[in-house]
Amino acid sequence: MRRFLRHRLAVVGAILLILLVLLALTAPILPLADPFKIDARAIRKPPSAAHWLGTDETGRDVLSRLIWGARVSLSVGLVAASISVTIGTLIGLTSGYSGGKIDFWLMRLTDVVMTIPTLIIIISLVAVLGPSIYNVMIVIGIFGWAGIARLVRAETLSLRERDFVMASRCVGASARRIMFRHILPNVTAPIIVAGTFAVAGAILSEASLSFLGIGVRVPTPTWGNMLTRAQSLTVLEAMPWLWLPPGLMITLVVLSINFLGDALRDALDPRLLNR
């Protein structure tokens, strides 16, 4: 904890993320305007006392949609990252501990996934399956595991010859028990760090898909589909309240998660204890 707290940017980022998660969780009970309510009398109004961040092209409150959009964007990031971490951990553990042909073919599969232009494949699959929050979560998750699998495999290769693993083999422990009871707890720290970066990557991927119009269906607010207003030069120049808030939120959240990942890496890495 002391090593983590020395990373001041990570502490600030953690506080920001906690506040944002609390806002997202309590959005239904906060005194916010209805994010779906259309008001023809308040179309594209600048920030005011009635609408702190202004309104969009249909008169909906931008602040309300920004907070409700956090629910979707953070949910996509967490669920997609969980899928990626689960797949990557299972493949990395199996490959690193088994070795031989299993290791060879699993790593070749990983190489193939890493060489695929991920965003293009995700766009194609979402276009085929249809834009929905669940499809976005699943598709992003199943194409983001390759780097985590490589990381877990490397850690497993260094652990499988350690004395405590050899002792487990000698007393007759099964391969499954050794992998999940002895090796996995020792690779948890790098998995946590990789998971934080996976969350940031998933949020950016969702924002990209929604910006292109094939992410979460409108009128459900997400930071990505709120940014689609920035495609017009008129909006960019004269109505910054339509695109600047979601753009800043994406930037701040991704930076906070990256700082958090750096701090966790420094705090959990035993090789940095004496530094």
Q: Which DSSP string do the residues of 11-66 spell out, in sequence order?
A: HHHHHHHHHHHHHHHHGGGSS---TT---GGGTTPPS-SSSTT-B-TTS-BHHHHH
**Structure pTM?**
0.83
User: Taking 70 as the threshold, does the pLDDT of residue 57 lie above it?
Assistant: yes
At residue 125, the pLDDT reads: 82
Which amino acid, residue 238? Answer: A
| Res. 207 pLDDT band, cuts 50 70 90 | confident
Q: Cβ distance 187 to 177 under 8 Å?
A: no
Q: Which residues contact 84 (CB under 8 A, 6 or more apart)?
A: 140, 141, 142, 144, 145, 148, 198, 202
The domain at 2-27+57-272 falls in which architecture?
Orthogonal Bundle (1.10)
At residue 227, the pLDDT reads: 82
Q: Cβ distance 257 to 13 under 8 Å?
A: yes
Indicate the average pLDDT of the chain. Answer: 85
Of residues 211 and 75, the one with the higher pLDDT is 75
At residue 271, the pLDDT reads: 55
What percent of the chain is helix, strand and coil (3-state, nearest 5)? 75, 0, 25
Q: Which residues contact 195 (CB under 8 A, 6 or more apart)?
A: 81, 82, 85, 148
Cα–Cα distance measured from residue 263 to residue 265, given in angstroms and rounded to the nearest whole number: 5
